[in-house]
A and B are shown apart, each in its own frame.
Chain A
Amino acid sequence: MDKEILNLALRRAVIVLILSFVFVFAFSELAYALTSSSPDRDPQEIVLTIPLGTAEKIAAGQAEPTIPEEMNFVVGDTLVVKNEDTTDHQLGPLFIPAGTSASLPLQKASSFEYNCSFQPSSFFGIQVRQQATFSFRFFAIAYATPATAIFLYVYSIVALPFKKKELSTPQE
């Protein structure tokens, strides 16, 4: 009798686990599809170069055409600003002496509007978003599946208790 209960409980646990995985996977992918603005790539090092003569152009009110006014990143990226100009430059918390580079690790999803010495507007926008690669979503599913399975299992015990006929063999 105990062995049969155990078998039924285990069988239900496996079924619930599979259903949970399918449910979480479908929910996760649907959410991802609906919010497709999330960048689908791994973190990387992104280099922004300040060309020679940029400070002179800025002083003359001209933008350096190779430098964008806003950039998008994923959490974990590192922005490396390489200063090839003859003047020290600044970007928000970064101080980039002439002839060097300075790195800015982007560890949190957020939007920044930094003071910037290499833009005529004096501002540089940075958008940091949470990455959403397949592996990242896979790990999220792995974390969510057990909790969902436990919830569904407890719910199934309440909603669909083991019936007597399931627990005993039919008597002739």
Chain B
Amino acid sequence: MKRTFALLGFTALAGFILIAVVSTQSAKPPVFQGSLIDPPILAKDFLLHDQNGQPFRLSDQHGKVVLLYFGYTYCPDVCPATLVDFKRIREGLGDRVNEVEFVFITVDPDRDTTDQMKNYLGGFAPNFIGLRDEPPVLQQVWADYGIAPQKQPGAGTAGYLVDHPARVYVIDRSGNLRLTFPFGLAAEAMLHDVLVLFAD
């Protein structure tokens, strides 16, 4: 009788814990880890020039996923961190690496010359694309993507800093703006979303 009582107690406890563990671990994560734009809209097109002086038009990238980031090479924190994330995503893509373009558009054309961008981006990955152009052309692209760079006084030899949003824009293979990645989202989560987009 006592043993039966004890066995019942332990069985109840085991069931209690099993239900708790299964229930807390069965919550399904959202399909995308980034911020979904619904409905998707055609990403605004632009024509800029890359770090080799070659023209780059967004609409020519149809068929590839484009990860678009606005930053500057003298950025002390969020830009290099984002480019490290890009590098990790690129490494995680394996043999699909050529299906994604990693694009960096400067918010500081005064200092981000073609040579400066070539040297800077080359330190992260050989095929990252750095875009710049004359300020009026860039300003239109910034406006289209909600970017309003603000120069701020900075310490040190680099001179001023530039305030700018740190999100990554994700454009799918049909040229639609589908997602944004907030700064701080893990590279693995971004890679996951890119792979989900491949399945579209």
Contacts and interface: CB of A to CB of B under 8 A. Distances in A.
A150 B43 CA distance: 59
Interface residues of A, number: 32
Contact of B33 (A95, A99, A102, A105): A105
Given A102-B35, A139-B20, A142-B17, A11 B182 contact: no
Contacts of A135: 23
A120 interface: no
Tell which of B2, B33, B183 has the most Cβ of chain A within 10 Å: B2
B30 A95 contact: no
A4 to B, nearest CB: 10
Nearest to A6: B3
Given A10-B2, A93-B183, A99 B41 contact: yes
B22 to A, nearest CB: 10
B6 A14 contact: yes
Q: How large is the interface on B (under 10, 10 to 19, 20 to 34, 35 or more residues)?
A: 20 to 34
B24 A139 contact: yes
A100 B37 contact: yes
B161 to A, nearest CB: 16
A95 B33 CA distance: 15
A13 interface: yes
B48 to A, nearest CB: 19
B20 A138 contact: yes
Given A101-B37, A142-B20, A13 B6 contact: yes
B20 A94 contact: no
B46 interface: no
Contact of B39 (A14, A94, A100, A117): A100
B167 A95 contact: yes
A10 B23 CA distance: 29
Given A17-B13, A99-B41, A142-B16, A93 B35 contact: yes
B30 A105 contact: yes
Contacts of A51: none
A110 to B, nearest CB: 11
Interface in B1-28: 2-3, 5-6, 9-10, 13, 16-17, 19-20, 23-24, 27
Interface of B: 2-3, 5-6, 9-10, 13, 16-17, 19-20, 23-24, 27, 30, 33, 35-41, 145-146, 165-167, 169, 177, 180-183
Given A11-B6, A78-B30, 6 more contacts: A14-B5, A95-B167, A96-B37, A105-B30, A138-B20, A146-B13
